[in-house]
Amino acid sequence: MAVLSRRKIASQAAVRIAGGESRSKVLNEIAGYLLDSGRKNEADLLVRDIETALIDRGVVVGTVVSARKLSADAKKTIDSFVKDHYENVKTVVLRERVDESLIGGIRLELPDRQLDASVVTKLDKLTA
């Protein structure tokens, strides 16, 4: 059997998840396929691919890293910022992570794009 590319698997998974199918059922099937075909170590990359494929289905999943816990207002602003930058995105799901080494500002990690507005990066650029 020909090896399926990650992009194809991800695209199928995104269609099913966005279509309302049970997430755990889809992921279980994929996990079974990966184990069967000896591609267990591609799991992380596949998750990224599914997240990327979900963008076309109107769902953006991302991570916001900040130096301090974000206020509700800030979260709302980020949410609308993401919606502004993608066409036809209805749902934005943001994971939050606090990392004091950023000093200030935020780093927004989306499946295919990144916004680095952290103070530490700006300082790095200043010293470079």
Is 39 a binding residue for other proteins by CB under 8 A? The answer is no
Contacts of 65 (CB under 8 A, 6+ apart): 97, 98, 99, 102, 106, 107, 108, 109, 118
The answer to the question of residue 103 lying near other proteins (CB under 8 A) is no
Sign of CA dihedral 124, 111, 70, 73: positive
2 sits near other proteins (criterion: CB under 8 A)? no
Minimum CB separation of residue 128 from other proteins in Å reads 6
**Can you tell me which of 17, 26, 30, 52 binds other proteins, judged by CB under 8 A?**
52
Among 5, 22, 77, 80, binds other proteins (CB under 8 A): 5
Q: Which residues contact 63 (CB under 8 A, 6 or more apart)?
A: 94, 95, 96, 97, 108, 109
Site for other proteins, rule CB under 8 A:
5-7, 45, 48-49, 52, 85, 108-117, 119, 122-123, 125-126, 128
